[in-house]
Amino acid sequence: MFKSIIRMSGFCWLAVALLFSTVAVADTVNVYSARHYDSDQELYDAFTIETGIEVSVLEGDSDMLVERIQREGIASPADVLITVDAGRLWRAVQAGALQEVESDVLEERIPAHLRHPDGYWYGYSQRMRLIYYNPERIDPEMVATYEDLAKPELEGKICIRSSNNIYNQSLLASMVEIHGVEGAEQWAQGLVNNLARQPQGGDTDQIRGVAAGECDVAVANHYYYMRLADSDDPADREVADKVAVMLPNQDGRGVHVNIGGAGVVKHAPHRDNAIRFLEFLASEEAQEIFARANYEYPVTEGVERHEALAEWGDVKLDELNMDALGSNNPDAVRIADRVGWR
């Protein structure tokens, strides 16, 4: 037995298949993961300690992993697919990469809106997509909602990454669900009209753009900000100190959230172990690891958030079913193309 993490780059399909074949026994679970956090090893170790089941992990890009599962077909060694964003989970279901799972444990511990209606996947951590602004130049009332990002008063003031990014596609997909295709397109056009620069970089770059005066408003997931604010590097903390955080739509539907989630692969050779692994991810121990290691919000009641998030107090989170972010993804992509959101 052994435990391994294999990076996708540099490994051919045959080599990976042969490697996993050496652990094709009852006390193993093979995980294909698109999460690239070193802290996830803590989850795998804790699962093995609790169950005696060894975890072998293949890491790679989400779309590449789904394509690999399709290519491997019935011979796939994969038991579990882990990825981030409901849009990517939806794509995995559409590709036929996952199977339905029924589990009283998962249904009890994971709220209905954070899991697939038919059990193809389950969400294990929540991430908020927040608005950041320059408090010296922007009145917080100007950016109290996501809808405000389309106001003409913000022309030339917003930094946001490309619409090719799945986080932004899911945000736009939520607007489709709430306002319909026409309303979502009007919002997206207003957002594009307000850009301070062409979309570039990742989420952290948008926050840095506000701190550097390149824009006055930015959109990014909450943990990118927390990494800056809680960093050992004084320069990172200085960036965080220069921006203010808006938790949007607190008087309405709540903050837009997305998930990190997992499902059992269609032809999982160790199906029972895979389900047991999913149930472990919903345990209090695993939920505490998600919260502590990457500032992610737990999905189960009774698990504390990271202490660095305490100053935000009680946050109202949108309870839109995550599956809608996937089913509306094609409309979101088309809208972004029509309005010129590159």
Contact present, 156 and 196 (Cβ < 8 Å): yes
State the pLDDT confidence band at 311, using cuts at 50, 70 and 90.
confident
Same domain, 200 and 167: yes
State the pLDDT confidence band at 93, using cuts at 50, 70 and 90.
very high
Bigger pLDDT: 177 vs 310: 177
Same domain, 52 and 110: yes
> Does 310 reside within a domain?
no
Looking at the 3D structure of the chain, how many domains does it have? 2
Contact present, 259 and 322 (Cβ < 8 Å): yes
Same domain, 29 and 84: yes
Q: Cα–Cα distance between 324 and 227 in angstroms, integer? A: 29
Same domain, 246 and 326: yes
Same domain, 334 and 187: yes
What is residue 329's predicted lDDT score, i.e. its pLDDT? 96
State the pLDDT confidence band at 38, using cuts at 50, 70 and 90.
confident
Same domain, 121 and 229: no
State the pLDDT confidence band at 293, using cuts at 50, 70 and 90.
confident
What is residue 147's predicted lDDT score, i.e. its pLDDT? 98
CA angle 89, 298, 204 (to 5 degrees): 70
Q: Using one digit for the tens of pLDDT, what is the confidence trace for 103-153?
A: 999 999 999 999 999 999 999 999 999 999 999 999 999 999 999 999 999
Q: Using one digit for the tens of pLDDT, what is the confidence trace for 210-246?
A: 999 999 999 999 999 999 999 999 999 999 999 999 9
Same domain, 321 and 230: yes
Residue 339 to residues 191, 192, 261, 319, 330, Cα–Cα distance (Å) = 9, 7, 30, 28, 15
CA angle 324, 96, 89 (to 5 degrees): 35
What is residue 10's predicted lDDT score, i.e. its pLDDT? 41
Record the pTM.
0.89
State the pLDDT confidence band at 1, using cuts at 50, 70 and 90.
very low
Lowest-confidence region among 11-15, 213-217, 286-290: 11-15
Average pLDDT over residues 15-38: 70
Q: Which CATH number characterizes residue 284's domain?
A: 3.40.190.10
Same domain, 115 and 188: no
What is residue 123's predicted lDDT score, i.e. its pLDDT? 97
Contact present, 276 and 51 (Cβ < 8 Å): yes
- At residue 284, does pLDDT exceed 50? yes
Q: Cα–Cα distance between 93 and 266 in angstroms, integer? A: 10
Q: Domain limits at 22?
A: 4-126+257-305
Contact present, 80 and 263 (Cβ < 8 Å): yes
Same domain, 10 and 122: yes
Same domain, 37 and 145: no
> Does 311 reside within a domain?
no
